[in-house]
Amino acid sequence: MKPISKFPRILLLLIVCFFMNLFSFKAQNSIVPDKINYQAIAHSSNGQTLNNQTIDVLIGIHSQSSSGTLVYQEEHNVTTNDYGLFTLSIGDGTPLLNPFNSIGWEDQNYYLNVQVDNGFGYEDLGSQQLVTVPYALHARTVEVDNVDDDDNDPANEYNINVTLNGDTLQITDGGGTQSVDLSSISSSDNQNLTGATLSGTNLTIDIEDGNSTSVDLSSLQDGVDDADNDPANEFNTNVSLNGDTLQITDGGGTQSIDLSNLSGSDNQNLTGATLSGTNLTIDIENGNSTSVDLSTLQDGVDDADNNPTNELQTLSLLSGNTLYLSVSGDSVVLPSISFIAGAGIDINSGIISNTGDGDNDPNNELISNAALSPSNDFLIIDEGSGNFTSIDVSDLNNSGTDNQDLIGASLSGTNLTIDIENGSSTTVDLSSLQDGVGTDDQNLTGATLSGNNLTIGIESGSSATVD
C-alpha cells in the first residue's frame, strides 16, 4: 500500500469544539472536558480511501505560527471505518510533550499540526491555525453572569494572596484569610514507573500519576541500511572448518577465510634441568617448565654434615694378608684372609689385578668406547680387542617436531616417567641418586633365643628382636 498523500490531497473533516471553563454558574453546573474533537478521512495518493485500516496519528500544537515553538504533542492509534473516517479527541492521546491542560489558550494564537503513519513512517500533512467556534465568540459578549452576588462587586471575589507558612496554607480574598493545615500531606508520592513504549526511535516512559517523557534514541542506530527490515536474516547459521579454511554462513551466503598461515612448528628442545632440594625442574623451549618431587628417592638416612665423601669405605691390604676396612677414619681389622694368585690374577704389594680373561670369549667384554661416524649416520661401538660394531642411527634426526610440551611427570619407586604432548613417555632410573649407595656389606654376627624373643645381631649396627 502506498503512503498517505500530503495534506492538500486528503479530505479532512474537522469538527473542533473548545470547551473553556470561563465562568461559574450557581443555577446550573456544567462539566467542561479538556479535549478537542477531531475527525478526518484518510486517502491514499491515488485517491482511494483507507478503509478499515489501523493508523498512527501524531498531533502537535505550535505557538505563534505553524513553525513556532512546539508546546504540546501526543500520539493516537486509531482504526478507520468503512469510509476511511477516523475520530479522535485531542488531549486524550498518549502525551509525548507537556500536559494538555498546560496550554495557555488566552495568551496567544496556536496552530495544529497533523502527521499520519500507515506503516511507512510519519508523513507531515501540514498545519492550520486553531480558531474559535461560534459559542466561544458569543462568550465574549457576556456582561452579566446571573450569579447571585450580594454586593455586585466582581473585585472582592478574587484571591489576592496565597502564602505557605510552614505546614499552613493561607488564602486571602475580599472576605478575609482562610488557613489550611497541610502537615498531614507526605512529602513523597511513592510513584512507580508504569510502562515504556518504543515508537520508531522514540522511547516513551510513563510514571504513575505523572506526565510521560520521551527520549530520542536515533543516535544509537548504527547507520546500517537493512533493506528488508528483517532481523532474522542477519544471523550466522553455520560455522565450519574445512582443512585450513574457516567457512561462515549467514542469510547472504557463505564466506571463507584461509587459516593456513596459522600453522607451523617451533622445534622445541629441552633447555635445562635444575634440582632445588628434592624438586627437579625440567625446562622446554617456548613452553612451560614442569617440576617433579624426588623426595621419595631418599632412603631416610640422616646425614648431619651433608658431605658425601665421608660415608665412603676404603679397603686396603696391609701387613701381609691382613685386610683393613676403613669407616669414617677408623680401621677395622678383619679376620685374616689368605689370597693366592692364580690364572689371570696377580698379587703385587697388596694390589690384586686381573691379568687374563678366564673364558677367552671376546663377545662378552665390556664396551670401552663409542662415537658417531663423521656423517653422524652411524654409532660405532668399541668392544675391545679390535672388535667394533656399527649401528645405523640416520632415522634419529631432529625433524618432524610437533610443538610438544611436557605435560607431566610421575615417580614410581626410583623410576621417573616423563610425559610429552602427542608423544611416548620415557622412563629414567634414578636409583643412583639415593644417598645410601655404597653399602658396607655388613654381616650377621649372631642370633640368640630368649623365651619367644629372637635377637639377631649385625656387624657395626644395632640388633633387632623378633617375638
Q: Which amino acid is at 428?
A: V
**Cell numbers linked to 126:** 501540514
pLDDT digits (tens, 9 = 90+) for 301-323: 666 666 666 666 666 666 655 55
Q: At residue 56, does pLDDT exceed 80?
A: yes
Tell me the residue length of the chain. 467
φ, ψ dihedrals at 308, nearest 5°? -75, -15
Closest CA to 129 of 9, 5, 4, 16: 16
What DSSP character marks residue 5? P
Residue 351 to residue 336: CA distance in whole angstroms: 16
Select the more confidently predicted residue: 440 or 172.
Answer: 172
Averaged pLDDT for residues 275-289: 86
**What is the SS3 assignment for 135?**
helix
Q: At residue 15, does pLDDT exceed 60?
A: no
Q: At residue 438, does pLDDT exceed 70?
A: no
Please give the full DSSP string across 318-371, using - where no structure is assigned: ETTTEEEEEETTEEEEPPP------TTEEEETTEEEE-S-TT--GGGPPP-EEE
**pLDDT attached to residue 267:** 64
**Cell numbers linked to 315:** 679397603
Helices (H) and strands (E) in the chain — how many of each? 1, 33
Closest CA to 434 of 418, 419, 410, 415: 415
Q: At residue 46, does pLDDT exceed 90?
A: no
Q: At residue 28, does pLDDT exceed 50?
A: no
Residue 465 to residue 458: CA distance in whole angstroms: 12
**Cell numbers linked to 27:** 443555577
What DSSP character marks residue 4? B
**pLDDT attached to residue 4:** 46
**pLDDT attached to residue 321:** 52
Report CA dihedral (130, 136, 140, 142) to the nearest 10 degrees.
Answer: -170
Closest CA to 12 of 110, 121, 125: 125
pLDDT digits (tens, 9 = 90+) for 97-133: 999 989 888 878 999 999 998 888 888 889 999 887 6
Measure the CA angle with vertex 86, ends 81 and 89; round to 5°: 140
Residue 234 to residue 232: CA distance in whole angstroms: 6
Closest CA to 334 of 348, 316, 349, 354: 316
- For the chain, the distance separating the N- and C-terminal CA atoms, rounded to the nearest angstrom, is 110
Residues 89 and 37 sit within 8 Å (Cβ to Cβ): yes
pTM equals 0.30
Q: In what order do the strands lie in the sheet with 168-173?
A: 159-165, 168-173, 176-181
Q: What percent of the chain has pLDDT over 90?
A: 14
Q: Which of 2-6, 60-64, 378-382 has the lowest mean pLDDT?
A: 2-6
User: Residue 115, Cβ neighbours under 10 Å: how many?
Assistant: 19
Reported confidence tier of residue 230, pLDDT bands at 50, 70, 90: low
Residues 325 and 315 sit within 8 Å (Cβ to Cβ): yes
Closest CA to 317 of 348, 345, 342, 286: 348
**pLDDT attached to residue 89:** 94
Q: What percent of the chain has pLDDT over 70?
A: 62
Q: At residue 243, does pLDDT exceed 60?
A: yes
**What is the SS3 assignment for 270?**
strand
Query: Where in the sequence of the chain do the CATH 2.60.40 domains occur?
Result: 7-148
Q: In what order do the strands lie in the sheet with 193-199?
A: 193-199, 202-207, 213-216
Mean pLDDT over the full length of the chain: 74
CATH class of residue range 7-148: mainly beta
Q: Which of 102-111, 146-155, 345-354 has the lowest mean pLDDT?
A: 146-155
Residue 284 to residue 290: CA distance in whole angstroms: 9
Averaged pLDDT for residues 341-348: 64
What CA–CA distances, in Å, run from 139 to 19, 20, 33, 107, 133? 11, 10, 17, 17, 10
Helix or strand holding residue 139 (H, E): helix 134-139
**What is the SS3 assignment for 34?**
coil
**pLDDT attached to residue 92:** 94
User: Residue 198, Cβ neighbours under 10 Å: how many?
Assistant: 10
Place of cell 642370633: 447
Closest CA to 280 of 271, 293, 269: 293
**pLDDT attached to residue 411:** 87
Residue 80 to residue 383: CA distance in whole angstroms: 112
What DSSP character marks residue 6? P
Averaged pLDDT for residues 292-300: 76
Could you tell me which residues are beta bridge partners of residue 4?
44
